[in-house]
Amino acid sequence: MEISSRQALIMEFISNNPDTQTQSIRDYLAKLSGEDISRMTVIRDVEILLKNKFIQKAGSGRSVAYKVTAKGKLLSPVSEYEAYFQKSPDERSGAKKSFQLEVFKNMEYLFSQKELSDLDKINSDYQKRISNFSPVALRKEFERLTIELSWKSSQLEGNTYSLIDTEVLLLQEKEAKGHKREEAIMLINHKKALEYIHENAKKFKKITLRDIEDVHSLIVDQLGIKRGLRKNIVGVTGSVYRPLDNEFQIKEAMEQMVKTANELPHPLQKTLAFILLLSYIQPFEDGNKRTARLFGNAILMANNCCPLSYRSVDEAEYKKAMLLFYEKNSAWMFKKIFTGQFKFAVRNYFLA
């Protein structure tokens, strides 16, 4: 469900002021807008948020107070998010600095049943089309998606290869001039990892820690990055958020992530939860988000869902969406990117 900008402001205010009451919400909105907001308008907005279980109330009559629910925390828009990112990391209001265990139990709220039903209808078009593909046509189209995903996923990590240069590299093994060798290796590793996933798709129906580490190993091969769960502290550029720094806690978090994702009933829910949580935990020394994107595709392909290329994603928006999850535990923006990229993939790949 899409909520209005005023409802988003109400949720944000309640989140920052637990057990708040209607009059306090009115005062806050009036201060922001410079206009008086009627009590009935606020009550209507609050009722919509209650109905959709974004907030909950306690007490009765004039003593009624509101709190944001787990679902609300996960899906609430961040009002004026552009202004949020204009501020320095230390000035961002409400930014969480440490790992929050509650993110695991919130993943069940990522999609409504209607949203999943709508996405299933879209995916059924993909399923019908690939059922009529010859093995040769299927291989050629997967090759195209591999090139475009390798390019965009690497670009999101600072790789400067163009899409055309990526195609030449992956199909003809010719490196582009004026680029570091590491950039070519990063792209080639994407191709190797995707081919491995494609050849072993069914094994990814159930997520395991071993399989995650195997995909990560392929992603970081020959890049001087240690394999296996990290033992050192890592930071996040441009954020006050600091991932877990204890290897035992990291392993526990990974085990909980695997359990959480495996228990989710729908593959799209599983995939989105996995990408968010692996990126949030940052279990490896480097290559975390690359591993999240590729393993996310492994989950989709194992469940006969269209894989993503992220070809049309805006780099800055992707990074902001991740930071919102790190700092606010809000999946709102990344969910929009994920669903948009899923629809884009169905419309642009494996066409009859």
| Residue 154 belongs to a domain | yes
| Residue 92 belongs to a domain | no
Could you tell me if 63 and 137 lie in one domain?
no
| Residue 74 belongs to a domain | no
Could you tell me if 58 and 132 lie in one domain?
no
| Residue 112 belongs to a domain | yes
Could you tell me if 16 and 161 lie in one domain?
no
Nearest to 55 by CA among 8, 102, 101: 8
Could you tell me if 134 and 229 lie in one domain?
yes
Q: Could you tell me the residue range of the domain that residue 36 belongs to? A: 5-68
Could you tell me if 140 and 185 lie in one domain?
yes
**Cβ burial, residue 181 (10 Å; 0-12/13-18/19+):** exposed
What local confidence, expressed as pLDDT, does residue 36 receive? 84
Q: Enumerate residue ranges in the chain where pLDDT < 70.
A: 1, 79
Could you tell me if 129 and 230 lie in one domain?
yes
Q: Give residue-wise pLDDT tens across range 250-308.
A: 999 999 999 999 999 999 999 999 999 999 999 999 999 999 999 999 999 999 999 99
What CATH number should be reported for the domain holding residue 295?
A: 1.10.3290.10
Could you tell me if 107 and 55 lie in one domain?
no
Residue type, 128: K
| Residue 83 belongs to a domain | no
What local confidence, expressed as pLDDT, does residue 58 receive? 85
Last-in-domain residue among 68, 83, 118:
68
Could you tell me if 255 and 149 lie in one domain?
yes
Q: Report the number of distinct structural domains present in the chain.
A: 2
Q: Which residues contact 225 (CB under 8 A, 6 or more apart)?
A: 284, 285, 286, 287
pTM reported for the whole predicted model: 0.92
Could you tell me if 58 and 183 lie in one domain?
no
What local confidence, expressed as pLDDT, does residue 1 receive? 63
| Residue 124 belongs to a domain | yes
Q: How far apart are the first and last CA of the chain?
A: 33
| Residue 96 belongs to a domain | no
Buried b (16+ CB within 10 A) or exposed e, 232-260: eeeebeebbbbbbbeeeebeebbebbbeb
Could you tell me if 11 and 158 lie in one domain?
no
Q: Longest Cα pair distance anywhere in the chain, in angstroms?
A: 72
Residue 20 is classified by DSSP as B
| Residue 81 belongs to a domain | no
Return d(Cα 88, Cα 244) in angstroms, integer: 22
Where is 283: in which H helix or E strand? none
Could you tell me if 209 and 286 lie in one domain?
yes
What CATH number should be reported for the domain holding residue 42?
A: 1.10.10.10
Could you tell me if 122 and 216 lie in one domain?
yes
Contact call for residues 184 and 173 (beta carbons, < 8 A): no
